[in-house]
Structure 1
């Protein structure tokens, strides 16, 4: 199921959402166009490598500088490939404008970064020996989905069901679409634990952690002057 758009009204321009998308896309293009060694350096240093923080001796031996956990935030603006970027930006485009609308620009950026930080921290907690860098806005976007799940449960999400690439579009309630997304993440995370010792090529714990952070924290960031 691929979401195309939602039907929830938005009363303000989502400048922060647009800014986040611009930064992610620009950084991706710049890093992609850079020499391979520089590309590798950026992803390794500014992506979040769990073992860097759970095994200080290993980090020193590998030459990692102490960064005061900055990569827990900087990784949110880096992406591993085109599809990774496209899907994250697409979800951000569809769902984040309404959450920014309900929170206001300033509160939304704090909420977004906080969810992303918590998501990254939970991924580090569950995969402490991982030496591959975790990158992507997915954890923060999962926080947005957590807020959307409770603020717009019955808003319609138009989804495309790609059966033989036919134009099959259906509308489903947001609570159903996001609920299925959460169940899928939990299923994959459980499978990775049972059969692959927690290893996965997707930051599943960051997704789940971001979602939990989003639905627990969103109420503290809502505008009090939002039109009823």
Structure 2
């Protein structure tokens, strides 16, 4: 898997919405109950119980989205000691949950630092150009629509699942799909793990096309051991939604600047003219 670090595609305006989305995701992550344990590398039972209760309240659950049926019992966040040892207390939910609204709140929830930082890196690199092309308000609406499409697309394919669906990956996948449509020839600096991290400058169509193929392969359960814990199908739906929504903007999109200087980690030689 290549790691993007920068794209050679300047913007005309400050991407305030992208910055705000990143800040909101970080703040929500830091304020999520039980997240302190993941930062320190360990979690107490009480922290885990609080985290499960929080996710049941604010995460999107496929079965709830499709059937609009809330569970009768959920984790309460409390810990009790029973005959088989301590465990999380479950009981009737003490809150009213809107499955439709939970899709929005779930877009700002992440399960670990790695999950958060990976998503925010992709959003920072590729989101600024999409915001620049669409404008602030339209870009924000685009982001939300892609996130909803990804969540409901995954829920349709997994309508009996009661596992919480969290993360901004679906919405960010839409940003990647839009970038592929609008700036396929833009150059992206990436780190390729090959004994060491090798810096290369590759076209966006290759970087993002490779990313999409990986999501499709992983979604089928091939080549990955945690296919059941990552919603790869949501990534695919979000990506395709982003491509479709960005397609009408392609004719009026100015091309990225022609690459000069460094190429594939080395300085390109000047061409001789005769």
**What's the counterpart of residue 237 of structure 2?**
209
SS at match of 1:133: coil
Distance 1:66-1:220 versus aligned 2 partners, 3 A rule: farther
Structure 2 unaligned regions, length at least 5:
38-45, 75-91, 256-274
Could you report, residue by residue, the CA deviation over 1:65-95 in whole angstroms, capped at 9, with x for unpaired residues?
Answer: 3415111111111101110001000000100
More RCO (CA 8 Å, sep 6+): 1
1:167 and 1:135 map into 2 onto residues whose CA distance is 30
Relative to its length, the structure with more strand (as a share) is 2
Structure 1 contact 107–221 (Cα < 8 Å) conserved? no
Give me the CA root mean square deviation: 2.5
Q: Which of 42, 48, 51 is matched with 1:39 structurally?
A: 51
Structure 1 unaligned regions, length at least 5:
none
TM-score by length of 1: 0.88
**What's the counterpart of residue 25 of structure 1?**
26
Relative to its length, the structure with more helix (as a share) is 1
Larger of the two Rg values belongs to structure: 2
Structure 1 contact 146–211 (Cα < 8 Å) conserved? yes
Could you report, residue by residue, the CA deviation over 1:133-168 in whole angstroms, capped at 9, with x for unpaired residues?
Answer: 11000000000001000110000111101233x341
TM-fit CA distance, 1:218: 1.9
- 1:30-69 matches, within 5 Å, as 30-31=31-32, 32-33=35-36, 36=47, 37-56=49-68, 59-62=71-74, 63=92, 65-69=96-100
SS at match of 1:141: helix
TM-fit CA distance, 1:191: 2.8
